[in-house]
Structure 1
Amino acid sequence: MSEYIRRNLEIPFLRAAAEYPALLLTGPRQTGKTTMLKRLMETEDKGRSYVTLDDYEALTLARGDPALFFQTYKPPLLIDEVQYAPSLFTGMKRLIDKGAKPGDFWMTGSQLFKMMEGVQESLAGRVAMFHLSPLSQQEIDPCFEPGVFFADYQYLLARQKNAKPLSASAVYERIFQGSMPALISGKFSDRQRYYSGYTQTYLERDIRDLVSGIDFLKFSDFIRSVAARTAQLVNYRHIAEDAGMNQETAKNWLRLLETLGVIFYVRPYHHNTLKRMIKTPKLYFYDTGLAAFLTRWNSSETLMNGAMNGAFLENYVIAEILKGYENAGQEITLYFYRDKDSKEIDLLLENDGLLMPVEIKKTASPTPGMISSFNALEKAPLRRGAGALVCLTEHLSAFDHSNFVVPVG
């Protein structure tokens, strides 16, 4: 029997449910959206009814007669897979404007962009939106204190006070295993079979809903080509050549992967005071386990010693930072820095008017020279805050009062 893993997003979601009449929880397939909300129904919100638009009769009613749908399924209500019937948003607006109570309508949806137009038009100011990512290590490992990444020594020390040091092999085991709840909770034990089914069933199903006529054999080649370029600058030409398609198709299919929450982009930090900047984004996978499956690494050991070990470590760390913010209900924009003189900073976080640089290295022997690129921010319009070198060291330490060495965890 699988064990429920408590999600950090539960608390901010419940807070919003006390204020907003409608709440929308989006995220990739299989990240636990329905599981989390059903758990909250059992423990915090008993009496709420549930309907899924995966059910043909419920979907037909929702699309054909939204008013009758809401007479049949009365609030407080959880509507699962709401993206299949965007016509419900208008009916929901009418009920809200007639005096719906806070938290009356909970919704889940897996196809973010497909829903946004209807939500923004019909429910503006009436809905709180959240994004549930795959599990973060804070959620998987109870030794870690909940919280978002912030380059402050005392804060980092408090977060890791109960954490056990991780060896490099343990880190790569986490990277290889991935962060999908069904695997981590023990619901499925065969990782290879799970990811094979995930790509063939869930991704293909959602893609059919968004675009007709896709050749899924070609799409399989495409997504493997994308995974082989994780933590790299996006190069449409190379992806298209590998998958045997034109660049426009590659661009469109990358948009599909972003829409479905499979990949995300980190944008280059750019300002006119910083000259000779690279302007191409980098792409990453939310779940490193899926990326490892797609690139055919058969074990964490071969991944750790293989040619992509640095890229996977970078993907893992940046995805963990992003998931930490998203699963706490907070927004964050991630940047990287690279100029045409080859100066590069893997990650920039903008917080309280400060730029926090983060460098990621596959090393257990950090040196100050590894963060020399931080000096490139001297001409940035925002003041440089404390920075961090995230690496395979086992303990938190510092180069000086504003540059810290943070273990991967």
Structure 2
Amino acid sequence: MYRFAEHWFRQLLAASPIVSVTGPRQSGKTTLARWMAKQTGRPYLSLENLGLRALAKENPTQFLAQLKNGAILDEVQRVPALMPYLESNLELLPFSRSELAREKKAPSSLENTLLTGGYPPLFNKKTNRQQWFADYLATFVERDLQQWLVVQNIDLFYRFVYRCARQNGQLLHLSSLAEDCGITRNTVRAWISVLEASYLVRRLPPHHAYFKKRTIKAQKLYFSDTGLLCWLLDIHTPEQLLAHPLYKKIFEAWVISEYRKNALNKGTRPAFYFWRDTNGNQIDLIIDKCSHINPVQINPTRDLHKGLFTVISRWMRRSGPMAQFPTLIYGGNLNALRHGVNVRGWQKIR
């Protein structure tokens, strides 16, 4: 399946002899790397090969010097000594909805979109969703986790991951999470960093450009893939999803992830934030593009009632000229301008 990141990959290859491909397990990194190696005539080297890995560890400079015509390296994290030499980096996340729609593989409903997520293997008709996510998490804990830190109590780490799923979209309080899991604040901080480095979760910081005295300063925690998130929350059917108290927060996670994927596929890295005051008024996503900022409200409702626009309209009036293109992403299909806000159906994120 064609990946939108391929265009950006080609630009990186034109400017740099070596491109590293990073992203979560099973996001399609190796498939894209092999395809681009074939298309460009550059060698594809996987450092899962023990011989290559030994050479790279022994003398990184000499190893890279042999790649006179450039190369595409996979599994480069297995040789940390190579990292300082890499000039360019491509982040490849699981499929975006736009990529799936292009190949006519996107689920038709919002609920099935959230339940499936974007990992490429799930779009093979023979894949069992529940078993795949169980295997995915087990492989992460038993293999990938050991690259980052030593966890003495694996069962406790599993409990921590499940507890994080229930925290999705909520304000992140380390002390509360530590108490719930029976671990220290420092352990919570370290384990969240590992989940983030592995692309399983993302922290969303608060935006402080406006109304500083009344804004919340805690971060939020969002899972990067809603398929995995729903599986962790024991949600397996559209009916269960619609009735779940975290349905809105799951939708928020998906929308934020789609914005991030679309940005990375275009070779851009805008800063993402949220805004919330002490009265509970909130802008779910603020995209800071340096020259301007875009506020985005996110709600899975299919009913465009006036109350959806209250906070974002008030926020725009008070935020000055830097704030532009206010947007509402909702669970319906209408694309229009309402109350000065750009309304976009969930299938039209861009």
How does the TM-score come out when normalised to structure 2?
0.91
For 2:229, what is the secondary structure of its paired residue? Answer: helix
| Cα separation, 2, equivalents of 1:81 and 1:187 | 28
Name which of 247, 250, 255 aligns with 2:185.
247
Counterpart of 1:325, as a letter, is: A
> What secondary structure sits across from 1:317 in the alignment?
helix
Distance 1:364 1:63 in 2: 55
AA aligned opposite 1:136: S
SS in 2 for 1:78: strand
Q: Contact 1:337/1:346 (CA < 8 Å) preserved in 2?
A: yes
**Counterpart-to-counterpart distance in 1, 2:285 and 2:260:** 11
Contact kept? 1:49, 1:74, Cα under 8 Å: no
SS at match of 2:337: strand
| 2:90 match | 130
1:255 is displaced (CA, Å) by 0.7
Deviations 1:275-301 (A, max 9, x none): 211011111111111111111112232
Instruction: Return the alpha-carbon distance in structure 2 between the equivalents of residues 360 and 128 of structure 1.
Output: 33
Quick check: 1:202 aligned with 2:140?
Answer: yes
Cα displacement string for residues 129-181 of structure 1 (whole angstroms, at most 9, x for unaligned residues): 2211111001111189xxxxxxxxxxxxxxxxxxx996xxx101110011101
CA change 1:24–1:50 in 2 (3 A) is closer
310-319 or 264-273, which deviates more: 264-273
Q: Which residue of 1 aligns with 2:40?
A: 45
- Indicate the residue corresponding to 1:155 in structure 2: none
Q: 1:78: which partner in 2?
A: 72
Partner of 1:355: 293
What is the deviation of 1:72? 7.2
Distance 2:127 2:202 in 1: 27
Q: Given the superposition, is the C-alpha separation of residues 399 and 211 from structure 1 closer, same or farther in structure 2, using an over 3 Å criterion?
A: same
- Give the whole-Å Cα distance in 1 for the aligned partners of 2:202 and 2:126: 26
Aligned-partner Cα distance in 2 for 1:263–1:279: 19
Deviation by residue 1:170-197 (Cα, 9 ceiling, x = unmatched): 101110011101112x175111111111
Contact 1:353–1:382 (CA under 8 A) maintained in structure 2: no
Alpha-carbon distance, 1:368 to partner: 2.8
Structure 1 stretches of 5 or more lacking a match? Answer: 90-117, 145-163
Separation in structure 1 between the aligned mates of residue 261 and residue 209 of structure 2, nearest angstrom: 27
Which residue in 1 is equivalent to 2:317?
378
1:58-113: CA deviation from partner (whole Å, max 9, x where unpaired): 222221244664577764322211111123x3xxxxxxxxxxxxxxxxxxxxxxxx
Structure 2: distance between partners of 1:367 and 1:352: 32
Per the alignment, residue 189 of structure 1 pairs with 127
Q: Residue 328 of structure 2 aligns with which residue?
A: 389
The structural deviation recorded for 1:381 is: 5.5
How many residue pairs get aligned? The number is: 345
Q: Partner letter of residue 300 of structure 2? A: K
The residue that corresponds to 2:6 in the other structure is 10
* Deviating more after overlay: 58-67 vs 128-137: 58-67
Letter in 2 for 1:45: T
Q: Which moved more, 1:358-367 or 1:272-281?
A: 272-281
Do 1:288 and 1:316's aligned partners in 2 also have CA atoms closer than 8 Å? yes
- Identity, % of aligned pairs? 28
1:24 to 20, 27, 31: 20
RMSD: 2.3
Deviation at 1:382, TM superposition (A): 4.8
| SS of 2:205 mapped into structure 1 | strand
Q: 2:259 aligns with which of 301, 304, 321?
A: 321
Gaps of 5+ in 2: none
- Alignment check: 8 A CA contact 2:107 2:113 kept: no
- 1:397–1:406: 8 Å Cα contact kept in structure 2? yes
- Which range is displaced more, 224-233 or 72-81? 72-81
